Amino acid sequence: MWAIGGRIAGSLATLLAVSIVLFVLVHTIPVSPARVVLGIDASEADIAEFDRDHGLDKPLWQQYAAWIGGVAKGDFGKSVIDETSISRQIADTFPVTFELVLLAFLFALAVAIPLGAISALYGGQTIDHLARIVSVVGVSIPGFWLGLILIAWGAVSLGWFPAGGYVPWRAGALAHLQSLALPAIALGLYYVAIISRMTRSSVADVLLADHVRVSRAMGLSRRRILTYVLKNALPPVVTVSAMSFGYMFGWALIIEQVFNIAGMSRALLSAIFRRDYLMIENVVLVITAVFLAANLIADLLYAWLDPRLSR
């Protein structure tokens, strides 16, 4: 219990440290928000008034305290560009990105774990070579290029999927899943390669372990032995998968752009282009929190899979 509490405290401390670094970085950008909003011909008096209205004239530590205090209460503030609620924007876009990443993650797990396990069980054989080729291809293809190829194939040529956009659930489950299928594949393929290689390596190591040899000698069924092998091989796969889940939020930025999905990653890109610094700060902080949460869950799963670690 203490170990879990320690991990949670560690994650919160990391999040706090990231928030400080993020805040300092964003506030050292040379183009001021006032200049972006008021335009290049704004007078110094206008700039000063804008800074005063938005609290930008206060010392940096006071600005940080105000921001992080608001975040702790769930209030991310208002965009300096268009005065819209950032909490509302995140609430609108986060579920979209989360669902896309979740689907991509499930796709990656569903393909990678069986592929890696089969590859290890049939090491050196044709199926193993094929799995390795899939891995190399998956790692090598840039996500944006794969996205474009999938659009050209699945949307333009075959007409089976829309070329882009996000269809909400209320428009129908089929149309909804259709709109996310290609982006999820484009986002997940890279991680199929990563997770399947880790699975293969881990399963191959466990297959050589003494307990597996003893199990075979005892005459246990192949299925039962495989169950033991997979359970023992999973901890490193869980770690890599959790990290992959976090990284996917970053890569979703490119995928959402290519597939024109109005998710949080695309909102981040838009904020970057508009120099909406407060929005950038908040979205990056949310992505960091997701990353830390995924790693925390991985640690907990790790402990569950291997109780020795929690002792």
Partner 1 sequence: MSLTRRSFLGTSAVAGISLFDPNIVLGADKTLTIALPNNPSTLDPMQISNHDSMAVSNVVFENLLEVDLDGNVVPSLAHKMPEISDDQTIFKFDLRDDVVFHDGSKFSAEDVKYSYEYMLDPKNKSARRTLFAPIQEIAIESPTRIIFKMKHPYRPWFQYMTKFMGIFPKGSREKLGDDAFKNAPVGVGTGPGAFVEWKQNDYLEVKKHANYWRKGVPAWDRMVAKIVTEDAARVAYLMTNQAQIISAPPPREFERLKTAPGISTGSKVAVGGMWFMQTNTKRAPFDDVNFRKAVSCAIDRKRIAKDVFYGLMDPSAVPAPTTVSYHNADADKAVGYDPAKAKDHLAKSKYASNAEFELLVPSTPYLFDAADASVVMQSQLAAVGIKMKITAMEMPQILQRDIAGTQVASLLPLMGPSDPTFIIQICYTADQLMSKSSGWTSPALDEAIKESYKYQDAARLDPIYKKIQAILAEDCPNIWLGFVGVSNAWRSEIKNFKPNTGLTIWTRDVQFG
30 binds partner 1 per the rule CB under 8 A: yes
**Total residues in contact with partner 1, by rule CB under 8 A:** 44
Selected binder of partner 1 within 1, 5, 28, 31 (CB under 8 A): 31
The Cα-based distances of 59 to 18, 51, 64, 66, 275 in angstroms read: 20, 12, 9, 11, 21
152 binds partner 1 per the rule CB under 8 A: yes
| CB crowding 277-288: b at 16 or more within 10 Å, else e | bbbbbbbbbbbb
Selected binder of partner 1 within 59, 74, 159, 219 (CB under 8 A): 159
**Number of Cβ within a 10 Å radius of residue 13:** 10
45 binds partner 1 per the rule CB under 8 A: no
Give ∠ CA 56-58-64 in degrees, rounded to 5.
80
Residue 209 or 269: which CB sits closer to partner 1?
269
Work out how close the CB of 273 gets to partner 1 at its nearest, in angstroms, rounded to a whole number: 7
Work out how close the CB of 103 gets to partner 1 at its nearest, in angstroms, rounded to a whole number: 17
156 binds partner 1 per the rule CB under 8 A: yes
| Cβ atoms of 218 and 78 closer than 8 Å | no
| Cβ atoms of 259 and 252 closer than 8 Å | no
Token digits for 150?
């999938």
Selected binder of partner 1 within 54, 197, 200, 266 (CB under 8 A): 266
Work out how close the CB of 33 gets to partner 1 at its nearest, in angstroms, rounded to a whole number: 11
178 binds partner 1 per the rule CB under 8 A: yes
- Give DSSP secondary structure letters for 130-199: HHHHHHHHHHHS-HHHHHHHHIIIIIIIS-SS-SS----GGG-HHHHHHHHHHHHHHHHHHHHHHHHHHH
239 binds partner 1 per the rule CB under 8 A: no
47 binds partner 1 per the rule CB under 8 A: no
Q: What is the DSSP code (8-state) at residue 261? A: -
Residue 44 or 210: which CB sits closer to partner 1?
44
Q: What is the DSSP code (8-state) at residue 310? A: G
78 binds partner 1 per the rule CB under 8 A: no
Selected binder of partner 1 within 7, 8, 15, 35 (CB under 8 A): 35
Residues that bind partner 1 (CB under 8 A): 30-31, 35-36, 38-41, 46, 81-84, 89, 92-93, 148, 151-152, 155-156, 158-166, 174-175, 178, 257-260, 262, 266-267, 270, 273-275
